[in-house]
A and B are shown apart, each in its own frame.
Chain A
Amino acid sequence: MFGFLLLCFSPTSALAEDFGTTVRPFLNKYCLDCHGPNDPEANLALDGLAGDLSRQDQQKTWQKVFEQLELAQMPPEDAEQPTDTDRSRVLSWIRTNAAHAGVAMESKLDRPGFGNYVKHELLFGDSSVPPSYSPPRLWRIRPAVYHDTIHNVAKGDYTDPFTLKSAGHGFRDYANQYQLAGPDLNQLLTNARKVAGQLAELLIEDGKAQRGSRTPEQIFVLIKPGNPEPSTEEFDAAVDWLFHHVLLRDPTGDERQKLIDFTRQSMKSDGQLLGVRNLVMAVLLSPDALYRSERGAGEPDEYGRVPLAPRELAYAIAYALTDVRPDQELLKAADTGGLATREQVKRQVERILNNSKIEKPRILGFFREYFEYGQAEDVFKDPELFRSHAASVLVRDTDHLVLHIYEQDKDVLRELLTTQKSFIEYELRNGKPVKGHGGRMGDGRSYLSYNLPLDWKWTEKQPITLPGSQRAGILTQPAWLVAKSGNFDNHAIRRGLWIRTKLLGGTIPDLPITVDAQLPTDPALTLRERMKVTRETYCWQCHSKMNPLGLSFEMYDHFGRWRTRELKEPVLSEGSIDQSGDTSLDGQVDNALELVHRLADSERVRQVFVRHAFRYWMGRNETLADAATLRRADRDYVESGGSMKALITSLLTSDSFLYRK
């Protein structure tokens, strides 16, 4: 971050002498009061730090300093603050010197869940900003894409060699999140062997050699008896077939030669069949099949950026929207100069978005990972307390609501936050609506979660409209409420945390390890009363940013049912928005309904939503260098009347998407 602030500060000048003139005075001024030699806070003394990152005994300390400064968590809020420039000067010094010493400073800002630490005002203000770009990168393919690739050539079930980790409050498929290492590679090899067994299968029937049902003629030629030394042409044909089916392209001359040499040698030492299977596996396990490359190609422009290579771009577009590899049209465009301009890219993106026959699981995926309502299925509820609870049904219903709003494509965020519509026990089977059920979960009356009357009759005319005094948008859907609940209670803190980070763009530091984070369990007290323990000054610094938001949802119980009473008394649902960064938002609210309506009107909330869409579709956190992309995306969203498709199109035709530097 702070990329362009640093333009005035050349890294080459970050020599040891800068420690004396820049870093040491900074530490003295802002840190040593608390982190000096005598009884330092958190047992962290900084007075002895030398300006030498190669000293192993001090590397951990530097990492801590780096982290605290980068996230602006230190100096504490009530202490004198350094300017952004001073801060970034020290950060840059640490980074550069660490690199010289051969160690990388780990940046939390790159991790899922830390995107909000980039100041909103700097991203969306009026300041002039340079053109955007992404760093060049290798991105491990997603599990779904991997399976698609395999099923394109082979049949059967394959154990997932790698996963997308649930990353708490961040998006899952970040380019920097995943490596391929030990156990993944083991499984990849096992799977590749199974595929190779099908693609190079030799059957002997009635003494005659036959090829397996999945074995192409081109490979069969290499394995059939009586052809121990196939010709170069025969090898060429097999390598071509594999490349066309696995990597969707021609091999280069070099690739072809290397593979043929390898296969010949392996056939000699391991036998004809195993040698050919090794050829199949070598292609299946080539880096090209496991990573998507986004390195860019061609001449740098005046800002030092290079565009993605046409093939890279075709893959990037396909993977942004679908879980399958680029279709013929996209590949053709890439190979014939049809992705050279922004307008051409836009046409391809719109073609895919508007073609209902192309499945686009990435769209629903975004909303699921953003709202996190899918977690409802992970929250254990005692069936004795409410037999009709069926989390999977609730989640599916919210899926349908999200897709419905996406398809209307008008004022999407506002609709998501305020709609009274809802799908209830709704499922599509072969495109036809049917009454959904939760398998072994629930007693088949999950409509009771929405406070519908006991004698409510299922209808296929959905969505239906719920009372505006009870529901408004996703955050009042039982799926979301349950996802943000405990086993026996609402979870006002988690609800508040979600709103603080995902709508207001705020940050909450990790729970300090010294905190014993437990609420008292007295059943005679309401959650609001029990949460009073968080009012202690030390706790309240963070909890003031969550609890008043989350407590407005006390108008629902922990199964997501609207209620007016709690422990026989009228339920208290008031809350407030504070320290939002947008003064027009701050103030008391009577309940969650007023809260979500107010949030839905906010420019800041809309922009924070855009920031999250950016993260999902770029596979990384935004930096200040992305300001231009974000502003353009926000403008496109507003000018299109709140169209999600316009927002996605804007992001996928942005400089951040198209350029590498």
Chain B
Amino acid sequence: MTITRRTALKGLSLSAGGALLSPILEQIRAHAAGSAKRPPRFVFVVEGNGLPWNQITPVGINRDQKSTSLVDESLAERELPSALKPIEHYKDRLTVVNGLSGRVAGGGHSNDFGALGVHNCGSDVGSSGTPQGETIDVALGKRLGGIFTHVGLGISDRPEHNVIYNCSAWDKSKPLPTICQPMSAYGNLFGSVAGGSSKAEFNAKTNLLDFLLDDVKKLHREVPTAERDKLEAHLAGYEEMRHRQSRLNEIENTLREQAPVVNDKFQSEVETDRLDAHFDIAAAALIGGLTNSVTLASGVGNPFFSVKFTGLGIDFGKHGIGHGGSYNGMSWDEMAIKIRGFHFELIARLMKKLEAVPEGDGTMLDNTVIVYLSDAAEGHHSRCWEWPFVVLAGKHSGIQGGRYVEYPYYGNDGHREIGNLYTTLLAAAGEHRDYFGVRDAMLKGKARGDGPLPELLA
């Protein structure tokens, strides 16, 4: 059953209704209105190859993995594990969540779209499968609106990949791209004000889009009904671009100020550089008001996950690391923690940039939630009995910071699923649902529950 993307987009542009202004304008408006409350924006950082719980659990917490009771305590007196050291400064915003399950996603090297979609997308070695519904990052993007509903950036194990489809989806069978080349992402997001291109070029593009729209519409009238869907997607694509042209026009000055500075990292052969550049682009896109939902996917999905982090001196694929391999005197977990630490360094830098931009009564960081997870749940060959998360929640985001929360193990009373966590994020964005994604039919009674996780709501 398909509702065309076009219809969906129409709905979206109506609901977005020009509500989105750049943070700077927003700030002026908020001041004028005497209130600063706005729903938070979201950044998902997804790292491939699994996240063993002990790599993010504070030192000294001895988990009973099959626990039967809820743990909910302050992180203030706890020492962070080495992978999380880079975000020490933001410890009061950090919440570590253990014990959620995500069995419906199926498990394996990656759960692909299932990790953010809470469903089984039928992926396998060599294929990311087909999304069976929208993913949480996109659901939030739709809720929050934006010139770009969602921005997907990331790296793949093959440097030549430009765009891959691996973890985000608009709807069933409608995967959204992860752009792997920083230059390409830069062009997409900041092309209207990119160096050298004039206002005239921007206008010429608008004129061209109008012509192309006409061209496709003409064909649309001529083809048999069954083929119209294809052209509707094509039309919707142009309409979206056309709409975006108008919106970009409105915020041209902000964009000029906020566009990231293109440097060598943007075209580097080295994956750490490209990831770094993507974080720069993400920060600029958020600050420039281009989007409210970004996913940064680092080696996510079949068959893109075996990235070599040569920039960290690890000329050895993550797949090999996942299989317990060693390289150059480093054991698998030393390498995994080093790579994870690098991701948190990038996260810390992103937070710092957001913190520097005033918004409402505080800063942009206060209205931002960063969620870190692995598409492969708890391990290299994930089985999703549990799915560890790191949440960095802005002060005004409606999500709790500074906590260590651990839910009872799969099947025990009080157990909860990743769908509950995503329901919580939606609630923070002002959208109330019973549940996000597909429920685990094997969980019965008090081992399952509807709605958000009260422990995480501020």
Contacts and interface: CB of A to CB of B under 8 A. Distances in A.
Interface of A: 42-43, 59-60, 62-63, 98, 103-106, 135-138, 140, 159-160, 163, 165-168, 178-187, 189-190, 262, 265-266, 269-271, 274-275, 277-278, 281-282, 285-287, 295, 375, 378-380, 382, 487-488, 510-511, 513-514, 516-518
B226 A135 contact: yes
Contacts of B18: none
Given A106-B1, A183-B163, 11 more contacts: A135-B224, A136-B223, A138-B223, A166-B303, A179-B229, A181-B236, A182-B241, A185-B241, A266-B204, A378-B125, A517-B107
A489 B381 CA distance: 15
B325 A382 contact: yes
A380 B317 contact: yes
Interface string B99-125: 000011011000000000000101011
A283 to B, nearest CB: 10
Contacts of B1: 59-60, 62-63, 98, 103-106
B82 to A, nearest CB: 27
A511 B200 CA distance: 54
Interface in B211-250: 211-212, 215-216, 219, 223-224, 226-227, 229-231, 233-234, 236-238, 240-241
Contacts of A160: 162-163
Given A106-B2, A270-B204, A137 B227 contact: yes
A487 B208 contact: no
B188 interface: yes
Nearest to B324: A382
B253 interface: no
8 contacts: A60-B1, A104-B2, A183-B188, A187-B162, A187-B184, A189-B205, A190-B187, A265-B207
B441 A278 contact: no
Contact of A510 (B122, B181, B237): B122
A105 B1 CA distance: 5
B249 to A, nearest CB: 15
B37 to A, nearest CB: 31
A513 B120 contact: yes
A147 to B, nearest CB: 13
A282 B238 CA distance: 13
Contact of B181 (A63, A159, A186, A287): A159
B39 interface: no
A472 to B, nearest CB: 26
A266 B126 contact: no
Interface residues on B, range: 35 or more
Contacts of A282: 208, 211-212, 215
Given A159-B162, A285-B212, A185 B234 contact: yes
Nearest to B202: A270
A511 B233 CA distance: 31
B441 A42 contact: yes
A374 to B, nearest CB: 10
Nearest to A271: B200
B54 interface: no
Contacts, number: 162
A277 B203 CA distance: 13
A516 B104 CA distance: 10
Contacts of B184: 159, 187, 190
Interface string B110-146: 0000000000101011110100000000000000000
B200 A136 contact: no
- A181, A189, A510, A514, most chain B CB atoms within 10 A: A181
B316 to A, nearest CB: 10
Interface of B: 1-3, 5, 103-104, 106-107, 120, 122, 124-127, 129, 162-163, 165, 173, 176-177, 179, 181, 184, 187-188, 191, 200-201, 203-205, 207-208, 211-212, 215-216, 219, 223-224, 226-227, 229-231, 233-234, 236-238, 240-241, 303, 306, 317, 319-320, 323, 325, 381, 383, 438, 441-442
Contact of B219 (A274, A285, A287): A287
A125 B162 CA distance: 47
B204 A180 contact: no
B394 to A, nearest CB: 29
Contacts of A135: 224, 226
Nearest to A266: B207
A446 to B, nearest CB: 20
A186 B241 contact: yes
A514 B223 contact: no
B126 A511 contact: no
A339 B2 CA distance: 39
A168 B3 CA distance: 25
A271 B381 CA distance: 58
Given A187-B163, A187-B184, A380-B323, A181 B233 contact: yes
Contacts of A379: 125
Nearest to A270: B204
A63 B106 CA distance: 22
Contacts of A140: 230
B110 to A, nearest CB: 13
Contacts of A184: 237
B323 A168 contact: no
A378 B237 contact: no
Given A135-B226, A295-B223, A166 B127 contact: yes
Given A181-B236, A187-B163, A269 B203 contact: yes
A281 B210 CA distance: 13
Nearest to A494: B125
Contacts of A42: 441
- A136, A277, A516, most chain B CB atoms within 10 A: A516
Contacts of A378: 125-126, 303
A557 B104 CA distance: 33
Contact of B163 (A104, A105, A163, A510): A163
Given A138-B227, A378-B303, A510-B122, A180 B207 contact: no
User: What 5 A-B pairs come out closest when comparing CB atoms?
Assistant: A270-B204, A179-B233, A274-B204, A181-B233, A183-B177
Contacts of B125: 375, 378-379
Contacts of B122: 168, 510-511
Contacts of B162: 159-160, 187
A175 to B, nearest CB: 9
A143 to B, nearest CB: 11
B383 A518 contact: yes
Given A137-B227, A382-B323, A186 B188 contact: yes
A106 B215 CA distance: 28
B163 A185 contact: no
Contacts of B303: 166, 378
A136 B381 CA distance: 44
A513 B106 contact: yes
Nearest to B228: A138
B77 to A, nearest CB: 38
Given A185-B241, A187-B163, A518 B381 contact: yes
Contacts of B120: 513
A190 B187 CA distance: 8
A300 to B, nearest CB: 14
A505 to B, nearest CB: 21
Contact of A183 (B179, B231, B236, B381): B179
A111 B21 CA distance: 42
Given A160-B162, A181-B5, A265-B207, A166 B126 contact: yes
Nearest to A491: B125
Contacts of B177: 182-183
Nearest to A138: B227
B320 A182 contact: no
A530 to B, nearest CB: 14
B208 A380 contact: no
A423 B211 CA distance: 54
Given A42-B441, A166-B126, A516-B383, A179 B212 contact: no
A375 B124 CA distance: 12
- A187, A265, A375, most chain B CB atoms within 10 A: A187
Contacts of B181: 159
